[in-house]
Amino acid sequence: MVDGILDNSSAARELLQRSLDRGRLGHAYLFTGDDLELLEREAVSLARTVNCQEPPRRGASGLALEYCGRCSPCRRIASRQHPDMFWIRPESKMRQIQADQTRALTQALSLKAHEAAHKIGILVAAERMNSSAANAFLKTLEEPPAGSILILLSTEPDRLLETVLSRCLRLGFGGGNNAFSEVVLQWVEFFSTAAASSPGGFLSRYRILARLANTLATTREGLQKSMEEHSPLVRYPDAEPAQRERWEMELNAAVESEYRRKRGELLSGIHWWLRDLWLVVQGTPPELLRFPEYHSSTQRVAERLQPAAAGQNLDAWESTQQILHTNVQEALALEVGLLKLKL
């Protein structure tokens, strides 16, 4: 069951250390936050800690509270090469985690460990489990094989089945959804200015679409380059072809998952601005808005709308965001979504 939800990184780490100190390490965790790479690092840190052979500190329970970073398990876990550490990522054409993947993980965890004190199963972008995968995984999630720990990572935990949520201890890492990156803020500023400059016209929508397409393309290219540099494909060029093929699949899945997260941040920025627009139409003062710094352009658009139209914008954009979670063509979905907005 869910023992609690912590939304601060330091508090989450302190809870994990207290659990280790008392010998009460959980069997299934859900790590949530806005940065999937950060969540992966936190999962790796926990895996290194519980399997470290030369920990700098041990708790009253005898379990490690920190990892040394030098012993063989620490180094191999960090490089994703430990035989008792298993990664699951969305890999299908629809970027979902399939039932055969969760079944394979269950089988791997049920086997005797090669050398680790704790076998570790990590599900990246766990919200991408389809219903069959989640249902096939429930028994394992509730009662993992002895000596194993499951860590689910998610930037969209609300999309997980309640039956999955109820079986995990949920810990929040990093900032919350109220903190937008500079890229998102710049994008919202452009969006609001473009919307205000062309009353009700389609020209502004296509200017916005072109800017959004360019931003997304740059984002994907940056992710591809960054993740390739840290991939085992670069570190181990002489690996067996079958292993390299799997690494390539994992890399592509990781890039796609992180790309969708960053795309979601941009689209969420628009959603918050549309909410501000709806509030301004109803006379809400600037200090209560999410983006008060863009109040001038928001006000110009609000003067053209009725409350009902502003409310319909929110519904239309929410629908666009939901559609993008399916296997729909991205460019078409964004074009239709932007054209539906009343600006």
| Per-residue pLDDT reduced to its tens digit, 68-109 | 999 999 999 998 889 999 999 987 666 789 999 999 999 999
Residue 88 is predicted with a pLDDT of: 92
Choose the most confident range, by mean pLDDT, from 103-112, 165-174, 252-261. 103-112
Q: How high does pLDDT run on average in the chain?
A: 85
Q: What is the band of 5 on the pLDDT scale with cuts at 50, 70, 90?
A: very low
Give the C-alpha separation, 16 to 46, whole Å: 8
Q: What percent of the chain has pLDDT over 90?
A: 34
| Per-residue pLDDT reduced to its tens digit, 11-70 | 678 778 888 888 888 889 999 888 888 899 999 999 999 999 999 988 888 888 889 999
Give me the residue spans of the domains in the chain. 5-172, 186-340
Higher-pLDDT residue of 173, 9: 173
pLDDT average, residue stretch 318-327: 80
* Residue the block writes with tokens 């509270």: 65
Higher-pLDDT residue of 7, 174: 174
Q: Could you tell me the end-to-end alpha-carbon distance of the chain, in angstroms, rounded to an integer?
A: 46
CA distances from 152 to 13, 42, 326 (A): 16, 11, 21
Residue 288 is predicted with a pLDDT of: 80
Q: Can you list the pairs that 331-338 forms with residues at least 24 positions away whose Cβ atoms lie under 8 Å?
A: 331/213, 334/209, 334/212, 334/213, 335/209, 338/205, 338/208, 338/209
Tokens standing for 234?
């670069």
Higher-pLDDT residue of 113, 120: 120
> CATH number of the domain at 5-172, please?
3.40.50.300
Residue 326 is predicted with a pLDDT of: 74
